[in-house]
Amino acid sequence: MWCRTIILAAVVVLVAAPAALAVKIADITRIGGQRSNILTGLGLVYGLRGTGDGGDFQPAIKPLATMLGKFANPATVRELENVNNVALVSITATVPSNGVRDGDKLDIFITSIGAANSLRGGRLFVTPLTGPVPGSGIFALAEGAVVIEDPATPTVGRVVGGAVMETDLPAKYIDNGRITLIVEDPSASWTTASTIAKIINDAESTSGEIIATAVDPKNIVVVIPSIELSRPDSFISRVQRLPVPILPSEARVTINDRTGTMIVSGDVEISPVVISHKGLTISTVLPTPVPTPQRPMVLNKEIIALDPTGAGGAKLNDLVNALDQLKVPAEDRISIVKELHKMGKLHAKLITEGT
């Protein structure tokens, strides 16, 4: 009988094939043009209790003087030198990937860019928001009470629904009678793109013509049939609902040094190797002819061999089990896997995060 203590110092996830036979095309792709955009602006937060930029911060006082002049209440910069209840801020709003329409509201994020100590209790004055491209025009107007979400950073705040769209900003899916399916990075490969193209051709091509072509590991260009062009919604919906069989995934090991997490996907193999970890042992209890808990035979080991016959084909799962038996701490497990990859013994793509 084997006795083994499992130390949960590191989280190791072995991703097995899911029970489902297929996923939908929409699960692993997005349509070209289906992307978010950023609106930006520069404005003033007023109503602060002495925590603003101060009269000596000219970048805030000058726009304040300009604003007052627009409301028939002109004031010079010198006259505003004692003002400390306003702050110059940057404003950003994210347009969702499906686009927005005139009148829709977006949350905005406010960040002080001057000498203000806090934006708590302030309110953003009406400010136009433009697109990321210079000269793109005004897309929305922003205004509202600033809410400080993190007390540790009172110079950063949020206005829920603070931006009101003044124009339509729809997502543009169709380009010259075509859509482009973009495979999400975790699934992107020539195999996946080619498979998706074949599935679409088999399901939607009525006369054997090629309507879907994989142009690279991430992009599949799909020609909308002429009969569907006036109402492409049904065609796009059918394409997105087509099933894609579960394909063998890329052999990959993802390590997060900060959290001590190691995630393994695909069929990761290791060349013949012997790993020794000084000072750590495993205990194997061999039963006597009449095994009883009172009469075990204990053997201690400090070395475990993977694929000792040299036949090849040892799996990373074998290494995980071996390190588990050796009770190797999280940081050491990660170091061992990195060293195996460095030596060319780990046959998988190694991705390191959290450094």
Q: What is the pLDDT of residue 317?
A: 67
- Rounded to whole angstroms, the Cα distance separating 309 from 226 reads 62
* Whether the predicted pLDDT of 127 surpasses 70: yes
Domain with CATH 3.30.1360 in the chain: 23-33+172-245
Return the bridge partners of 46, or none: 86, 123
The phi, psi pair for 208, rounded to 5°, reads 85, 0
What is the number of alpha carbons within 13 Å of residue 17 lying toward its C-beta? 10
Q: What confidence category does residue 12 fall into, taking pLDDT thresholds of 50, 70 and 90? A: very low
CATH T-level assignment (fold) for domain 23-33+172-245:
Gyrase A; domain 2 (3.30.1360)
Pairwise pLDDT comparison (60 vs 209), residue with the higher score: 209
Residue by residue, DSSP assigns 260-273 as TEEEEES--EE-SE
Q: What is the pLDDT of residue 234?
A: 94
Task: Using CA atoms of 328, 331, 333, 338 in order, give the dihedral in degrees to the nearest 10.
Answer: -160
Q: What confidence category does residue 207 fall into, taking pLDDT thresholds of 50, 70 and 90? A: confident
- Rounded to whole angstroms, the Cα distance separating 144 from 159 reads 6
Q: What is the pLDDT of residue 105?
A: 96
Pairwise pLDDT comparison (348 vs 10), residue with the higher score: 348
Please provide the average confidence, as pLDDT, over all residues in the chain: 79
Q: What's the one-letter identity of residue 196?
A: I
Please check whether residue 219 is in contact with residue 30, taking contact to mean a CB–CB distance below 8 angstroms: no
The token duo for 250 is 């890329």
Pairing of strands 282-286, 37-46: unpaired
Minimum mean pLDDT among 3-7, 72-76, 269-273: which range?
3-7
Q: What confidence category does residue 14 fall into, taking pLDDT thresholds of 50, 70 and 90? A: very low
